[in-house]
Amino acid sequence: MAGPLTDRHVVLGVTGSIASFKAVDLASKLVQAGALVDVIMTYGATQFVTPLAFRSITHREVVTDTYDVSSEFANEHVALARRADIVVIAPATVNCIAKLAVGLADDPLTTTVIASSAPLLVAPAMDADMYAHPATQENLEKLRQRGVTIAGPAPGRLASGLIGMGRLLEPVDLLGHISATLGRTGDLAGRTIVVSAGGTQEPIDPVRVITNHSSGKMGYALAEAARDRGARAVLVTAPTGLPDPPLVEVVPVQTAEQMADAVKREVAGADALIMAAAVADYRPASAADQKIKKSDDELTIELAKTTDILDTARGDFVRVGFAAESENLVANATDKVRRKSLDLIVANDITDADSGFGSDTNRVVLIDRELQVEELPLLTKYEVGQRILDRVRDLLSPSTT
């Protein structure tokens, strides 16, 4: 199944930092995501991890020496630069960043950067004082001005024992940054897409809530897919336990009413709203201030209707709803498209284990306002997100940005 990195050519530059060990994991995750990964190591990097480690993972030649005549690099030293869809340097030391800023080309990695027109992503890793040094900050700023993506660093415990800014981002976060950088000039560049996710929680008392089985996976995948096509992705999410997707603006909420307020705020000026959240239709009319004691045999909770967020969110933007159905999928979804006057509804069959709540895959039917029906095969939720965004793109009026 295809993802944002499938068949993409990634040149992974690794420089001499204790964080180089994380680059092995990054290479592995890139390969698992379907990327073709060519690793270039500086001399410093080879002092921390071996070329064999990368070779074993990528099954491709690892470049360490500009003048090794047995290597493809020595014979045609710009080949990797031309082949690259993206050049990623992770970890990038303070020395490497300084060399990039002045445009040096004194090793295979910096030579490749200078020779490549592919997007460049630099993930710094260094001690906090080195990161804070004005020279480093100036160099990073210079790279940013040139359109280079600077991913991280993160705060935390550093190899020196100091706590501060300088940790390499985790490989899973770097994957998000790489996907976003690859897609930054995509067909949704300049657009704002608001996505809702998760199951709202309606408090009964300070301990208990009414909720549902939504894991948030569908909404999160949609937001990532929008990000990977260049959009500003805003994710209004009920509690899910999922990590925040990198470079997605996350707006956490708990209840349907909080989600309604957040969506209303975020859709102002947005291009599309996609409601993948499973929003409670009813909430306790009033939540008890204290924990309800187990006294009587029966407990009755009065419920009040929540705001229909999708129905009330109207404006100059594309409106997409979901319909989670356990029977009469197309008929029930068609009814919702009409009643809520939607541009598109995603009818979600929740009867199979591989579709609907909690699964990594989904089986959906798209129904537009003309009631045209398109049945999609079983796809990953990310792929479903891409197919929905194809439709959103076609529905958007030409961008004035």
**Which residues does the annotation mark as catalytic?**
212
CA 91/CA 122 separation, integer angstroms? 8
User: Where do the DSSP E strands lie in 183-259?
Assistant: 192-197, 202-203, 209-210, 232-237, 249-252
Both tokens of 281, joined, read: 């239709």
What tokens does 242 get? Answer: 């999922």
Stretch that binds ligand PMT, among 49-57, 79-87, 93-101, 322-330 (CB under 6 A): 322-330
Q: Residue 182 belongs to what H/E stretch? A: helix 171-182
Q: Which of residues 349-368 bind ligand PMT (CB under 6 A)?
A: 350, 356-358
Residues in region 161-190 near ligand PMT by CB under 6 A: none
Between CA 169 and CA 29 the distance in angstroms is 14
Given candidates 324, 365, 367, 388, which one binds ligand PMT under the rule CB under 6 A? 324
> CB of residue 213 vs ligand PMT: minimum separation in angstroms?
7
User: Considering the complex, what minimum distance in angstroms separates the CB of residue 270 from ligand PMT?
Assistant: 15
Residues between 235 and 264 with contacts to ligand PMT, criterion CB under 6 A? 256
CA dist., res. 155 & res. 64, Å (int): 30
Residue of 36, 57, 96, 309 interacting with ligand PMT (CB under 6 A): 309
Position of tokens 């909430």? 283
In total, the chain counts a number of residues equal to 401
Distance CA 128, CA 164 (A): 5
Contact indicator for 320, 277 with CB cutoff of 8 Å: no
Residue 38 has a CB neighbour count (10 Å cut-off) of 25
Number of residues that bind ligand PMT (CB under 6 A): 26
- Cβ of residue 352: shortest distance to ligand PMT, in angstroms? 12
Q: Work out whether 321 is an interface residue with ligand PMT (CB under 6 A).
A: yes
Q: Does 388 bind ligand PMT (CB under 6 A)?
A: no
- Whichever of 311 and 390 has its CB closer to ligand PMT, that residue is 311
The Cβ-side half-sphere exposure at 228, using a 13 Å CA radius, reads 21
CB of 313 to ligand PMT, least distance (A): 8
Which residue from 191, 227, 336, 363 is in contact with ligand PMT, where contact means CB under 6 A?
Answer: 336
State yes or no: residue 278 binds ligand PMT (CB under 6 A): yes
C-alpha of 42 from chain center: 30
Q: Is 113 in the site for ligand PMT (CB under 6 A)?
A: no
Asked if 155 touches ligand PMT (CB under 6 A), the answer is: no
Q: Are 223 and 232 in contact (CB under 8 A)?
A: no
Question: Residue 169 or 324: which CB sits closer to ligand PMT?
Answer: 324
- Does 323 sit near ligand PMT (CB under 6 A)? yes
* Binding interface with ligand PMT (CB under 6 A): 214-218, 256, 275-279, 281, 306, 308-310, 321-324, 336, 348, 350, 356-358
